[in-house]
Structure 1
């Protein structure tokens, strides 16, 4: 057996175990109290994962597999989830969400810039926190870091800050959206534009669906988030140029090959599955190999598989979240992180409340 696969297996199995416990525990308690979806299996998986990490710790043997779950299993789940959306729905959500996405990105970046200056935070760390909060979390930080020559410590610090506040938003924003009585579309727009990481947006969307008995918030949130992720192609080179101009450095800028790496393949996979869904929906007639009932069964099964993969990923997110790392954060990065996250969230709420 390949050595890399052997390293992945323990963490993968642990993620599956936590997912199974969360899924059946949520099902048991919901049946017990007579509500279909009062307790979310995804939220339960996150909490269980955090509790395991905090009180028992995670041995090194599980790390590779948990990392695989957070990165690969999550993306596979998102790709499969594309089967729930037609291309027309994606374009509709994307066009509606684009102005909100741009407003949130601009407000987040400007807030990060001014707070970095005001608090005299190291400029590279300020850039990383602002980009991570405004666009797509750790991915944006890692993509931005080479262009501004950020140190490993600054990268780790930035990722820790945005991960902690993104996790808080993932748990509480679904309930805020419900309190504000957002429609499923607006709830998806809010979660997709205000939360940092793709994993966290995914978790928040399905926490909403499971807790409040809706069907579309999760897929809406993910669609908006994937459109937001694409902004990396434009924003990160711009941030690199601005940083180097402000620091009077003339290093080589990001080239076209680097730009192509900013478009994650799983986004293309998500769109491909949506195309398959669209073609499938249009192909029903008396001579079809698959009738409408069978096609619905196939899409429902794929949706269930996708959801379980996302539960595995969310439990693994919990097991890789180190709450003790908060002790190591200085006050200034903490303040910048929470204020930028708050401004991005408020910007999203403002746009949705006024214009949607």
Structure 2
């Protein structure tokens, strides 16, 4: 948590009200990281969402997450998500990304744009509201829940509307971990091609790692670089959405116009630039990776704890079908791109 945010909380006397939810989110992240360390194929961030879902729907815990724990969990879902996105910038080295070559970079950019447009169109075809469709398209095409949080902040979309997209992107990313490795032999994929496919089509960074490592170290190396190239596109995509939102805000309404680029996106870009300089030691980067996991894990637990399975089954059938159709679209686009990149 940034020091100035903590100072404001203390001055406003809000910390005691937020503490129960924040502590529960922190405990959930510790548990998620412990399970991940024992079962590497289960990404910690996916587990954090799953634990949030359990907390929201298990008798005895559901009342607490909706009551005493809710303020802190909402704070985590909003503010810690933004802080985690800033730290995510330290995973991105422009040197590694540029090493793919301009042809591959243009290809990956095309896949992201096509996936974004296609997923948004599919979501609207299934009559999902425009804000939800936008968040689903962002999460599926760029980098999962982190991208959803960034886009929601840039477009001033309610946190409640981000809950369903986060649940769907987590579900489909987890599905990819189990399904994609089963297709290596039937499709005759080399480790490099499979790694490029995972990096170009799986949503969250942790899910990419869990998927690609099943084909070995060479597949994992390719997958991470391709995935981080998609992560870089988070900044321009969110900036473009923020600029559009700002320009479409009706003048003279008295409402405060949103910034062109949210500050946390600028922080993401700044830390990516810092990582690219090579000045940071491996120990510093490792510590930053842990901090990022903690921040994003707490945020995802907070969002997951707002999902009521009964409501999700009642209202989310169309969204689930849209998500599965989008998952197939992105898998197809990613596979085509992988064959073109790795020859």
TM-score, length of structure 1 as denominator length: 0.65
Aligned to 2:171: 168
Displacement, 1:8? 2.7
1:171-210 counterparts in 2 under 5 A? 171-179=174-182, 180=184, 187=195, 190-191=198-199, 195=203, 201-205=204-208, 207-208=210-211
Give the direction of change, closer, same or farther, for the CA distance of 1:212–1:162 in structure 2 (3 Å limit): same
1:59 corresponding residue in structure 2: 66
Distance 1:115 1:77, change over 3 A: closer
Asked if residue 140 in structure 1 is aligned to residue 151 in structure 2, the reply is yes
| 1:350 counterpart (333, 336, 339) | 336
Query: Which of residues 45, 50, 56 is equivalent to 2:48?
Result: 45
User: Is the Cα–Cα contact under 8 Å of residues 200 and 230 in structure 2 kept in the other structure?
Assistant: yes
Pairwise CA distance, 1:24: 3.1
- Would the aligned equivalents of 2:123 and 2:322 in 1 still touch at CA under 8 Å? yes
Give the C-alpha shift of residue 203 in structure 1.
Answer: 4.3
Q: 1:321 to 1:228 in 2, by over 3 A?
A: same
| Offset at residue 267 of structure 1 (A) | 1.8
**How far apart are the structure 2 equivalents of 1:185 and 1:75?**
33
For 1:99, what is the secondary structure of its paired residue?
helix
Unaligned runs of 5+ residues in structure 2 are 1-9, 139-146, 252-256
Task: Find the counterpart in structure 2 of residue 109 from structure 1.
Answer: 117
Is the 8 Å Cα contact of residues 79 and 273 (structure 1) preserved in structure 2?
A: no
Equivalent in the alignment of 2:266: 265
In structure 2, the CA distance between the partners of 1:240 and 1:178, relative to structure 1 (3 Å rule), is farther
Displacement of 1:89 in angstroms is 1.7
The 1-side partners of 2:295 and 2:260 are apart by: 29
Shift of 1:88: 0.9
Q: TM-score, normalised by structure 2?
A: 0.67
The one of 88, 94, 98 aligned to 1:87: 94
CA distance in 2, matches of 1:330, 1:86: 38
- Is the 8 Å Cα contact of residues 191 and 204 (structure 1) preserved in structure 2? no
Deviation at 1:90, TM superposition (A): 4.0
1:232 aligns with 2:238: yes
- The Cα shift of 1:138 comes to 5.4
Note the C-alpha offset of 1:209: 7.5
Aligned to 2:254: none
Residue segments in structure 1 that go unaligned for 5+ positions in a row? 31-36, 147-151, 196-200, 245-249, 281-294
The 2-side partners of 1:60 and 1:327 are apart by 23
In the alignment, which residue of structure 2 is the partner of 1:221? 227
Question: Kindly tell me: are residues 73 and 145 of structure 1, through their superposed partners in 2, closer, same or farther at Cα, counting changes over 3 Å?
Answer: closer
> What is aligned with 1:149?
none
Tell me: CA distance 1:169–1:62, structure 2 relative to 1, closer, same or farther (3 Å): same
Q: CA deviation at 1:232?
A: 3.3
Question: What's 1:198 paired with?
Answer: none
Aligned to 1:61, what secondary structure does the other structure show? Answer: coil
> How many positions carry a matched residue from both structures?
307
Over 3 Å counting, the alpha-carbon distance change for 1:298 and 1:279 in structure 2 is closer
How far residue 264 of structure 1 moved from its aligned partner, in angstroms, is 2.0
Q: CA deviation at 1:54?
A: 1.7
Range 137-146 or range 66-75, more displaced: 137-146
- Aligned residue for 1:321, secondary structure, equals coil
What secondary structure sits across from 1:259 in the alignment? coil
Corresponding residue for 1:70?
A: 77
Whose radius of gyration is greater, 1 or 2? 1
C-alpha change, 1:222 and 1:312, in structure 2 (3 Å) is farther
Contact 1:42 1:314 in 2 (8 A): yes
Specify whether residues 209 and 352 from structure 1 end up closer, same or farther in structure 2 by C-alpha distance, changes over 3 A only.
closer
- 1:221-300 alignment to 2 at 5 Å? 221-234=227-240, 258-261=259-262, 264-275=265-276, 278-280=278-280, 295-300=281-286
* 1:14 equivalent in alignment to 2:40: no
- 1:128-164 CA-to-partner distances (Å, cap 9, x unmatched) read 3443233243543565579xxxxx7xx956x455333
| Offset of residue 79 of structure 1 | 3.8
Cα distance, 1:204 vs. partner? 2.2
